[in-house]
Amino acid sequence: MRHFMGFLGCLVLPAALSCAAAVPPDTADREAALLLISTEALARGQAHARLRTLVTEHPGRLAGSAALAGAVRWSEQLLLGLGLDRVWKQEVPVPHWERGAPESVRMVPPAGSSLPIVNLAAAALGGSIATPPEGISAEVVEVRSLDELAGLGREKIAGRIVFFNRPMDPAEPDPGRAYGAAVDQRSRGPRTAADFGAAAALVRSMTQSVSDLPHTGGTTYLNDGRNIPALALSTVAADRLGAMLAADPLTRVEVKVHSRWHPEALSHNVIGEIRGTAFPDEIIVVGAHLDSWDLTPGAHDDGAGVVQAIEVMRIFRAIGYRPRHTVRCVLFTNEENGLRGGKAYAAMVRDSGEKHVFAVESDGGGFGPRGFSLGQNDGPVHERARRWLPLLQPLGILAFTAGRGGADIGPLLPLGVPLGNLLVDEQRYFDLHHTTADTIEQVHPRELHLGAAALASLIWLVDQEGL
C-alpha cells in the first residue's frame, strides 16, 4: 500500500458519491475508484469513434507521409481538447520510403510448358529497393530457413530469386511467439540472400491464416550497395509457388518493384500530460505508435493503442482524477521502419534526467485484454503486481507475466524504467497485421474499450500504490 492516499482524497467525485463518507483507504475504496474508471471507459468510451476518424482520415501513416503528418496534427488537437496541463511535440527525423506504383510478381512456367503465367499476390517489404523498370526474371531457390540458405552456398544462390517459405508454427499456441520464431526470414532473409548474390527475395507472409493478402513489414538493409528487392507473398501465393516449384524446379518468377527512397523527413512524437499532485517530477507513461505501414489503415496496428492511450487521459479528466504522479500520454512516431520516435524519447529522458517510474504500451491490437507483461532490469515486478489481479479480473486481466515492454518504450529499459505491455487475445492479430485488411471493421468497440479501461486501471494502481 506504498504511496496510498485513498481515492477519495484524490478525486473530484461525481454527485452520486459523497466526500462526507470519509471511508478509510481499504479495498472498497480501490474497487470504487476502479469502477468509476471502467464505467467511464465502457459506458461513455470514445476510443472506437476516434479510431474510426484516425483510420478513415489518415490511413497509411508511414514515416515521411502526409498521412502521418495529418495524424500528428489530429492527435495533438485531440490532446489539447482534453484540457491537459501540457501538450507538446518532440521533433524526430524519420526515414522516408515510398512504395510507388503497385509491385508485381508473376510465376512463369518453363519454356514449352502449356501452363499459364500466374500473378502472385505480393507486397514489397518496407525499404525494398526497386527493380529495373523491366523487372527481374530468374529461377527460384526455395528454402525453409537461413541455415538452409547458408548450406546451399553462393553457387546455388547467385543470380536466382530466394524464396523463404517456412510457415509460422501451427503447434505454437501463442501467435506472438510463432511470429517471433518465423520472422527472421523477413527481417534478415533478404539481406542474407543478397550476401550470397541473390537477385531478389520473396518471403512467405507472417500469418497462420490462409489468405491471398500479402503482409508487408520491415527488413534489414545495409548501406553498402548490395541490397536486393524483397517482397512478401500471400500464404496462398506462397503455397502455389511452392507447389509449382515442386512440380517443375525450372519455373521462373518475374518481379517488379517501383519503390523510392527520399531524404529524411521531419516527424514528431505527440505528448500530453496531467501534472502529478504529489510527485510532479515522477512520470508514468502510457504509449502507442502513431505510424503504420503505408498500405494499411492501421486500425489494430497501432491506431487502437493510440486511441486507448488518449482515452486513458480522457477518462482521468472525465472522472476528475488528479494523479499523484505526472501521467503522460506519448504517441510515438516511426515505430514500423525505424523506431526513431521511441529512441528519441528515451534520449530526451536520459539527457533531461527526467524520472520515469513506469511506462506501459498498447501495440498488440485492440482485441480483448488478457493481461499485462511487466519487466525491468532488476526485480520480478510482474510478481509484485499479481496482488492486483482480483481487482482487474472483471476487465479480462487474468495474468501478469514477465516481459520487456513494447517496441517504442523498449529504449527506456536501459534507463531502469519498469515497463508494461497490454496483452490481448492475439489469435486473429496476425491475420490482419501489416495488411490492407487492418480496418476499423476488425476492431470491436467493446474489446477496445476494455483495453482502455485496463490501461487506466493499471495506471491508477501504480499511481496510488507503486509497482
Return the range that interacts with Zn ion (CB under 5 A); candidates 50-58, 182-190, 355-363, 433-441.
Answer: 355-363
Shortest separation between residue 407's beta carbon and Zn ion, angstroms? 7
Size of interface with Zn ion, in residues (CB under 5 A): 3
User: In what order do the strands lie in the sheet containing 122-124?
Assistant: 118-120, 104-108, 252-256, 136-143, 161-164, 200-204, 230-233, 122-124
C-beta of 254 vs 302, nearer to Zn ion: 302
C-beta of 198 vs 286, nearer to Zn ion: 286
C-beta of 275 vs 428, nearer to Zn ion: 428
Q: Taking the mean position of all CA atoms in its chain, how far away is CA 306?
A: 10
Question: Which is nearest to 335 in space by CA: 308, 363, 372, 311?
Answer: 363
Shortest separation between residue 364's beta carbon and Zn ion, angstroms? 8
> Using the rule CB under 5 A, is 291 a contact of Zn ion?
no
3-state DSSP call for residue 328?
A: strand
| Total Cβ atoms within 10 A of residue 17 | 14
C-beta of 61 vs 204, nearer to Zn ion: 61
91 to 94, 226, 292, 297, 420: CA distances (angstroms): 10, 32, 18, 24, 25
Could you give phi then psi for residue 326, rounded to 5 degrees?
-70, 125
C-beta of 142 vs 302, nearer to Zn ion: 302
Contact with Zn ion (CB under 5 A) among 76, 254, 291, 363: 363
> Using the rule CB under 5 A, is 361 a contact of Zn ion?
no
Query: Where in 64-93 is the site for Zn ion (CB under 5 A)?
Result: none
Shortest separation between residue 190's beta carbon and Zn ion, angstroms? 21
72 to 2, 333, 384: CA distances (angstroms): 37, 9, 36
Shortest separation between residue 463's beta carbon and Zn ion, angstroms? 26
DSSP strands (E only) in 234-390: 252-256, 260-274, 279-289, 325-332, 355-361, 369-375
C-beta of 144 vs 404, nearer to Zn ion: 404
Question: Which is nearest to 304 in space by CA: 67, 51, 52?
Answer: 51
All 3 cell numbers of residue 319?
Answer: 472522472
Return the range that interacts with Zn ion (CB under 5 A); candidates 107-115, 272-280, 363-371, 382-390.
Answer: 363-371
C-beta of 40 vs 363, nearer to Zn ion: 363
Return the range that interacts with Zn ion (CB under 5 A); candidates 65-73, 263-271, 359-367, 392-400.
Answer: 359-367
Shortest separation between residue 367's beta carbon and Zn ion, angstroms? 13
**Could you give the CA distance from residue 168 to residue 222 in angstroms, rounded to a whole number?**
26
> Using the rule CB under 5 A, is 431 a contact of Zn ion?
no
Residue 318 neighbours by CB under 8 Å, 6+ apart? 40, 44
Shortest separation between residue 274's beta carbon and Zn ion, angstroms? 25
Shortest separation between residue 430's beta carbon and Zn ion, angstroms? 12
C-beta of 37 vs 409, nearer to Zn ion: 409
C-beta of 301 vs 311, nearer to Zn ion: 301
Are residues 411 and 272 in contact, defined by beta-carbon separation less than 8 angstroms?
Answer: no
Dihedral sign, Cα of residue 326, residue 316, residue 18, residue 34: negative
- Scanning 393-437, the segments in alpha helix (DSSP H) are 429-432
Return the range that interacts with Zn ion (CB under 5 A); candidates 12-20, 57-65, 89-97, 358-366.
Answer: 358-366
Return the range that interacts with Zn ion (CB under 5 A); candidates 146-154, 360-368, 379-387, 442-450.
Answer: 360-368
**Could you give the CA distance from residue 118 to residue 106 in angstroms, rounded to a whole number?**
6
Shortest separation between residue 363's beta carbon and Zn ion, angstroms? 4
C-beta of 164 vs 332, nearer to Zn ion: 332
Shortest separation between residue 93's beta carbon and Zn ion, angstroms? 20
Return the range that interacts with Zn ion (CB under 5 A); candidates 18-26, 132-140, 361-369, 428-436.
Answer: 361-369
**Could you give the CA distance from residue 48 to residue 54 in angstroms, rounded to a whole number?**
10
Shortest separation between residue 91's beta carbon and Zn ion, angstroms? 22
Question: Which is nearest to 318 in space by CA: 44, 114, 29, 35?
Answer: 44
Shortest separation between residue 171's beta carbon and Zn ion, angstroms? 25
Question: What does DSSP say about strands 122-124 and 86-98: parallel, antiparallel, or unpaired?
Answer: unpaired
Query: Where in 292-331 is the site for Zn ion (CB under 5 A)?
Result: 301-302
Are residues 288 and 362 in contact, defined by beta-carbon separation less than 8 angstroms?
Answer: yes
C-beta of 76 vs 291, nearer to Zn ion: 291
Binding residues vs Zn ion (CB under 5 A): 301-302, 363
